[in-house]
């Protein structure tokens, strides 16, 4: 693995990080943050309403949370009604929300008349004494299939010379199994730059490992992981994608092996890698199972028709 270039976060401020993620997020979509308080002034819950502005223009995403001490008293229903009205006023015809199966959120969504989409399987890789040996063995098995490709990595936002190709590889995510009614993101260099910069602004550390096709010089595969200073033992998988013309060369496995080694080397406290894939995503799941990921639960996106 070549040396890593990029920026390092000097100081982590959890409150500023949360405020940035909640109020600004990772894109330009307008968002509304509402807080509900009791007459005493004590907050009982709130929601974040996100109004996508590039795709899914009839959809609004709602993150609703009620304080644990105030649940099952109707506040959730009341806030959902308020949220639905805001979404309607913004011209949206459905609300979406992503929750774990078996959680209060799933029961609440069902009770509200929403319908659940395709299951996403949450998997976790736990680093143990055998991990380095397993990665070495898997890399040796895969490398013969990947002749003509070179791995490279960077920390933070993508270097300018890779931005357009990062957008192209991100577009390859459109092939992943998804809820039919949810449109995939269409990436441009500028959108990649804004999204990655917002992660850095919110105090996240962003790692990227790519595979370059030597003959053309183009990026063929990319995997990205974030870490956060307040959960030093967890790494969170973002995208992994291989351009369709370069599939079948074990590049998905190789970039993920490179990533696990890179994060372990730079952040010795890391013990777990978290990921989620559509249950029907056979290729990605096969890669994760070879790496040693274990199933941790199911989640899905719920949709509520506002018409």
Ligand X SMILES: CC(C)(COP(=O)(O)OP(=O)(O)OC[C@H]1O[C@@H](n2cnc3c(N)ncnc32)[C@H](O)[C@@H]1OP(=O)(O)O)[C@@H](O)C(=O)NCCC(=O)NCCS
Q: Footprint of ligand X on this chain (CB under 6 A)?
A: 64-66, 71-77, 97, 99, 103-105, 107-109, 111, 302
User: Distance (Å, rounded) from C-alpha 305 to C-alpha 307?
Assistant: 6
Pick 99 or 263: Cβ nearer ligand X = 99
Minimum Å gap between C-beta 82 and ligand X is 12
Inter-residue contact 222 to 241 (CB < 8 Å): yes
**Shortest CB 90 distance to ligand X, Å:** 19
Least Å distance, CB 40 to ligand X, is 17
Indicate the residue among 88 and 266 with the shorter CB distance to ligand X: 88
The number of helix segments (H) and strand segments (E) in the chain equals 8, 12
CB-nearer residue toward ligand X: 103 or 136: 103
Instruction: Give the span between the Cα atoms of 159 and 45, in whole angstroms.
Output: 40
Q: Minimum distance between the CB of residue 43 and ligand X, rounded to whole angstroms? A: 12
CA 275 to chain CA mean position, Å:
8
Under DSSP, is residue 182 helix (H, G, I), strand (E, B) or coil?
A: coil
Residue 104 CB, shortest distance to ligand X, in Å, is 3
DSSP class of 271: -
Q: What is the closest distance, in whole angstroms, from the C-beta atom of residue 105 to ligand X in the complex? A: 2
| Between 105 and 261, CB nearer to ligand X | 105
Select 67 or 131, whichever has its Cβ closest to ligand X.
Answer: 67
Query: Which of these, 217, 155, 158, 235, lies nearest to 191 by C-alpha position?
Result: 158
Nearer to ligand X, 56 or 303 (CB): 303
CA 116, CA 110: separation in Å to the nearest integer? 8
Taking the least distance from each CB to ligand X, the nearer of 74 and 159 is 74
Scan for tokens 């995403």, then name that residue: 61
Closest CA to 265 of 231, 230, 292, 235: 235
Q: Of the two residues 110 and 269, which places its CB atom closer to ligand X in the complex?
A: 110
Contact between residue 211 and residue 253 where contact means Cβ atoms under 8 Å apart: no
What secondary structure letter does DSSP report for 71? Answer: T
Instruction: Pick left, alpha or beta for residue 197 (phi over 0 → left; psi -120 to 50 → alpha; otherwise beta).
Output: alpha
Residue showing the smallest CB distance to ligand X in the complex: 105
Encoding tokens for residue 163?
């931005």
- The CB-of-225 to ligand X minimum distance in angstroms stands at 25
Q: How far apart are CA 31 and CA 271, in angstroms?
A: 34
> Least distance in Å: CB of 296 to ligand X?
17
Looking at the DSSP assignment, which residues form a beta bridge with residue 73? none
């Amino acid at each position: 693995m070549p040396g890593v270039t990029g920026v390092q976060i000097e100081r982590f401020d959890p409150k500023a990080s949360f405020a940035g993620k909640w109020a600004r997020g990772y894109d330009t979509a307008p968002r509304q943050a509402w807080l509900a308080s009791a007459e005493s002034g004590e907050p009982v819950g709130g929601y974040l309403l996100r109004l996508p502005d590039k795709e899914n223009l009839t959809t609004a995403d709602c993150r609703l949370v009620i304080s644990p001490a105030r649940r099952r008293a109707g506040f959730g229903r009341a806030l959902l009604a308020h949220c639905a009205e805001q979404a309607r006023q913004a011209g949206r015809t459905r609300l979406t929300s992503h929750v774990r199966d078996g959680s209060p959120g799933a029961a609440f969504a069902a009770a509200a008349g929403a319908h659940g989409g395709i299951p996403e399987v949450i998997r976790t890789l736990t680093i143990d004494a055998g991990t380095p040996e397993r990665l070495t063995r898997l890399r040796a098995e895969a490398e013969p299939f990947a002749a003509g490709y070179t791995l490279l990595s960077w920390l933070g936002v993508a270097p300018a010379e890779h931005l357009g190709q990062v957008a192209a590889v991100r577009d390859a995510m459109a092939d992943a199994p998804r809820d039919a009614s949810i449109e995939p993101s269409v990436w441009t260099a500028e959108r990649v730059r804004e999204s990655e910069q917002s992660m850095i602004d919110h105090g996240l550390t962003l790692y990227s490992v790519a595979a370059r096709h030597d003959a053309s010089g183009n990026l063929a595969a990319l995997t990205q992981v974030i870490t956060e200073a307040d959960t030093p033992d967890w790494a969170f998988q973002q995208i992994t994608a291989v351009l369709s013309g370069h599939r079948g060369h074990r590049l998905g496995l190789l970039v993920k092996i490179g990533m696990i080694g890179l994060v372990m080397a730079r952040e010795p406290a890391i013990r777990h890698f978290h990921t989620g894939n559509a249950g029907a995503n056979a290729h990605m799941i096969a890669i994760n199972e070879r790496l040693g990921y274990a199933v941790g639960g199911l989640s899905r996106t719920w949709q509520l028709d506002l018409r």
